[in-house]
Amino acid sequence: MIKKHDHLNTEVLVVGAGASGIPAAIAAARAGAKVVLLEEDPYVGGAPADMWVTHLCGGPLTGIVHELETRLKKNCLKRRHRIGPHGRFFLPEAFMREEVQMLAEAGVIVLTGARVVDVLMSQAGYRPRLKGVCVATHRKPLTIRTQMTVDATGTGAVAIMAGCRAMYGQESKRDFRETSALPTRSPTVQDCTWMYISQQLREGPCFDMMKLEWVKLGVLVNGLGWFHNDPEKARELNPRIFLHWGCRVKCDDTRDPLAVARAQMTALKLMEHDHALLRENGYAVYLAPHIGVRESNRIVGEHIITESDLRSGVLPPDTIALGTYGLDIWGRNDLPAGSSHVPAYGIPYRALVPKDADGLLLAGKAISGTHIAMSAYRVMPIAGSIGQAAGVAAALCAKRKQQPRQTDPKDIQQVLRRKDQHLQLNLGL
């Protein structure tokens, strides 16, 4: 039986309330658009909330992401959610609290537990145009019509439904002449990690985390850094709470729910020893709700960002976000020492514009780029800046009734430099 649909109209629709989608929604609202933000999880937050990536790794920290970090520092110190005078990670609830407040202040309409199951398309010009989406909710189907959509799903799910081509896996050297590429194509993507937090519940000295099998993968100590870099200082500091990178595991296909489930089961077995040891020594272990997936689909856009682009040291004229994080390909151990370093680079607006559809912009790690390039700009501060730019571009397109490829990147840059956006777009870092 076909149920009657609820209907909702908006100017900008952002799909995915994560590290890129939340800045996109806030930026679009601050640029004057009516904005709806959709999230299939029952809560907003993305990686900090469901994968517990609560460490703002990489940079630059600018724009809305910098605003978020400033609020976290101020409010979490007050509420004791952060430990140590120079803490580098926050608890997941702290991220969610600040993000929800920022969305409310911007006037964004937020819908959670809402999964896009279909798209509304029209063929008015050269390319098919995305006009809206159909959403499955716990109540009854919902149709959202919009002038512009931002795909911030991290998987390119909406773009693929709209008919856009996707890239997955590793390209060969021949494809883009990348120095670090493999000789032949490979379906392998970056390793997954399953993060967790450990908390000391009983009085006593700090447990020596060096006894854990996975300690060198990453155990973060607020007020210090990595435990394994200075174990003696870490034990002396004894913050009583630690962020663990868990373990690393390969996934046959991060687009396949069965393959992801198998990777989760493998990860649980790999972490059994460390979790048991922590519990025996008086620590509670809080495992993140989801295993951390670093890589999925990448959508083909008007420009495909490559390793050569990142190494060039030249900002494209249509730069809408900056990156200062180097190549970080989890699962590749054959790269020469020092090859991960790249100079500061710019993310071109063209990489946010899908080649195969109108009415749509890309945000986050599913923008148009190679496997190698994505390993650098996938981190939250850069993904957030990309999302912020996509939100501004969507608002301008909706206001002017333009398509993304018709919008002048200089106009986007001008808005991004405004006081309420404050996104850094030059190398004066």
pLDDT at site 1: 30
Whether 77 has a pLDDT exceeding 80, the answer reads: no
Please say whether the beta carbons of 247 and 191 come within 8 A: no
| R_g over Cα of the chain | 21
What average pLDDT does range 42-67 have in this prediction?
94
pLDDT at site 5: 57
**What's the pLDDT band for 83 if we cut at 50, 70, 90?**
very low
Please say whether the beta carbons of 320 and 416 come within 8 A: yes
pLDDT at site 2: 35
Q: Return left, alpha or beta for 163; rule: phi > 0 is left, psi -120 to 50 is alpha, else beta.
A: left
Torsion sign over Cα 256, 261, 262, 266: positive
* DSSP labels, 226-286: EGGG-HHHHHHH--SEEEE---EE--S-TT-HHHHHHHHHHHHHHHHHHHHHHHHTTEEEE
What average pLDDT does range 258-286 have in this prediction?
97
**What's the pLDDT band for 428 if we cut at 50, 70, 90?**
low
What average pLDDT does range 248-271 have in this prediction?
97
What are the extents of the domains in the chain? 6-171+295-416, 192-287
pLDDT at site 84: 43
Q: pLDDT digits over 84-116, tens only?
A: 444 578 999 999 999 999 999 999 999 999 999
Q: pLDDT digits over 362-392, tens only?
A: 999 999 999 999 999 999 999 999 999 999 9
How far apart CA 292 and CA 140 sit, in angstroms, is: 31
pLDDT at site 429: 54
Instruction: Please tell me which residue, 124 or 152, carries the higher pLDDT value.
Output: 152
Task: For residue 162, give the DSSP letter.
Answer: T
Cis omega (within 30 of 0) on the bond before 60?
A: yes
Catalogue the E-assigned strands of 156-216.
166-167, 192-193, 196-200
Q: pLDDT digits over 224-237, tens only?
A: 889 999 999 999 98
pLDDT at site 178: 96
Please say whether the beta carbons of 300 and 162 come within 8 A: no
Q: pLDDT digits over 319-363, tens only?
A: 999 999 999 999 998 888 888 999 999 999 999 999 999 999 999
Q: pLDDT digits over 168-200, tens only?
A: 999 999 999 999 999 999 999 999 999 999 999
pLDDT at site 153: 97
Which CATH superfamily includes the segment(s) 6-171+295-416? FAD/NAD(P)-binding domain (3.50.50.60)
pLDDT at site 79: 44
pLDDT at site 80: 44
How far apart CA 238 and CA 277 sit, in angstroms, is: 17
Please say whether the beta carbons of 322 and 424 come within 8 A: yes
Question: Per DSSP, what are the bridge partners of residue 255?
Answer: none
